[in-house]
Amino acid sequence: MRSRPSDPRARNRTPKALAVPALGQKPDRPPATMPPPVPVALLSDDADLHQIRDALDHAAHAGLARLTGGLSPAALTAAYMDWAVHLAISPGKQLELAARAARKGTRLVQFASLCALDGGVCEPCVEPLPQDRRFAGDEWQRWPFNVIHQAFLLQQQWWHNATTDVDGVTRQHEAVVEFVSRQILDMAAPSNFVATNPMVQRRILETGGRNLVQGFHNFLDDWQRIVRSKPAVGTEAFQVGRDVAVTPGKVIYRNRLIELIQYAPTTDEVRPEPILIVPAWIMKYYILDLSPANSLVRYLTDQGFTVFIISWKNPTAADRDLGMNDYRKLGVMAALDAVNAIVPGRKVHAVGYCLGGTLLAIAAAAMARDGDERLQTVSLLAAQADFREAGELTLFINESQVHFLEDLMRSQGYLDTRQMAGAFQLLRSNDLIWSRLVRHYLMGERTPLNDLMAWNADATRMPYRMHADYLEQLFLDNALAEGRFMVDGRPIAVSDIRAPIFAVGTERDHVAPWRSAFKIHLLADTDVTFVLTTGGHNAGIVADPDQPGGRFQILTKSATDRYRDPDTWTRIARWHEGSWWPEWARWLASHSGKPTQPPSSGASSRGYRVLCDAPGAYVLQP
């Protein structure tokens, strides 16, 4: 992490900690960030002046951040200015764009003419991208809507050419301009408007306009739920502890940050090495314990494993000072101590999902550095340890954006659920924003929720200090991959981990791209088994074997094998039909001892008594 200035005039980003409320008690309001007015004449020295300046700047930035959804206007302006200036001084690029515009205009005129002669239906002059389903209906292939959507696609192509490959523009600025321009174009897509969407017009004729009335009711319902902080429509059918997160278990440990759940065995004997699952702190743990037919936890217990899982507390302003090291100590290490007390003398299969995998890699590297050999294996599911190519999430991760976001979190004490959800939705705006708005408000329909979608609506917050540590040390500095991440005052290295690693990447992951997850091969000096599976960040991991359609590739690299790049790996790794879960269960079994009697729930004599039934109390916190 970058060194911070020691000058007393330097900006103080760490507010004083607040008292932690009891479970279920509402936290006190965070202290005001704006000091009382002080006459300039009374400012005795520069330190006072800097303190007032800092408070004023913070208040202004935090207020502006609420209006922009956390996006820094300075970062966006810098990106567009970089692009605009370099485009303005590039006559060759301008000439190329003018020629492309003329060619696309000619193609569109020819297409429209052919459609007029052939009765309105003809071959398109441009095809949408494979993942773009906005214009897939038959109605879009008839006059005049075929010309309308073809004109939009040609314009979309032109703007992609205009915002990319401009000499001199920095790589990140180019990516930001292309991304933001694409979002603006998606807002103006003809599929989003009644006058240019033939499917909506047909629906109006079929229902006599009742779809628009129902859509307006849907809009009012959604708006009221947002204002009242109520869950999305349909989530009531997936109540935690009744419909999802129902695998039998007990909470056997609780601290201010986690509850640890131990699940009941479903087999007469179990493998002697228990499994400890570390979910991401930005999600409710039950994504891995959804409905009984879609639960990874239940699947593992049915395979004869003793399973423990961390359930993170949903932080409030009172937890603003909890940082990365607190999550490691109070989370991973505290849970590992509890597992060792309940299953003494046995090593542990450690599993981390998403950011939980990153945290597990940090903990495992620190343990390896210190000679702690309690881990039998390490499994990293859609997790990253190197953040140089962390996908489109990195577009807005720079000094300007991080400082702007820190001001917002500093005033709140945490990053709000809506602010995080909005960022993830922008990565797939066509699927998660515009297509849903068309369906809900123009078509007058509701998208039926499944257990995964209901979980996705049950979002969590993130403490100020934790998120600041995460953005600065991992995204900005890439300190973990480069051996500069500090734990207890000393750096750690992923290469110190000697436990075998099982890593999973998903083909359509917008959060942890599989090529980024694949970099574990470059960081680890141990056996690495890597799986590339179909699906996205969540659906690719929640891959119940009874659900058809899944495929995956798998290949093991021993510690002595030479490195294979991702493209070579995909060419030689064998394809397998179905879910990757059974392959993982076999891998875990191959690194486990012979089955034995299941352990008891908790260990009262060692201070880990049963506190309550799963799913516990923390997962129910709003």
- Considering Cα of 189, then 447, then 225, then 221, what sign does the dihedral take? positive
DSSP β-ladder status, 501-506 and 375-381: parallel
Find out whether 306 and 299 touch, Cβ atoms under 8 Å: no
Q: In degrees rounded to 5, what are phi and psi of residue 513?
A: -50, 140
Q: For residue 196, give Cα distances in angstroms to 26, 81, 127, 150.
A: 49, 33, 19, 12
What own/partner pairs with CB < 8 Å and gap ≥ 24 does 230-235 have?
Answer: 231/457, 231/458, 232/449, 232/457, 233/446, 233/449, 234/446, 234/448, 234/449, 234/453, 234/454, 235/449, 235/454, 235/457, 235/458
The CA distance from 215 to 429, in Å, is 20
Q: Tokens for 283?
A: 């999600």
Q: For residue 162, give Cα distances in angstroms to 127, 150, 186, 397.
A: 19, 18, 16, 23
Residues labelled as active-site residues? 354
The CA distance from 35 to 51, in Å, is 9
- Considering Cα of 340, then 342, then 348, then 349, what sign does the dihedral take? negative
DSSP state of 448: P
Exposure string (b/e) for 49-69, b if CB count within 10 Å is 16 or more? Answer: ebbbebeeebbebbebbeeee
* Length of the chain, in residues: 622
Cα angle value 415/419/423 (rounded, 5°): 120
User: Within 13 Å of residue 99, how many CA atoms lie on the same side as its CB?
Assistant: 6
DSSP one-letter string for 148-211 = HHHHHHHHHHHHHHHHSS-TT--HHHHHHHHHHHHHHHHHT-GGGSGGG-HHHHHHHHHHTTHH
Q: In degrees rounded to 5, what are phi and psi of residue 552?
A: -155, 155
Q: Where are the alpha helices (DSSP H) in 303-439?
A: 324-326, 334-342, 355-369, 399-412, 417-427, 429, 435-437
The answer for residues whose C-beta is within 8 angstroms of residue 338's C-beta and 6 or more apart is 252, 253, 260, 308, 608
DSSP state of 466: H
The answer for residues whose C-beta is within 8 angstroms of residue 342's C-beta and 6 or more apart is 252, 262, 274, 599, 600, 602, 603, 606, 608
| Single-letter amino acid, residue 56 | L
Cα angle value 280/553/293 (rounded, 5°): 55
DSSP β-ladder status, 275-278 and 307-312: parallel
Which helix (H) or strand (E) is 532 found in, with range? strand 528-533
The CA distance from 140 to 120, in Å, is 11
- Considering Cα of 596, then 598, then 600, then 603, what sign does the dihedral take? positive
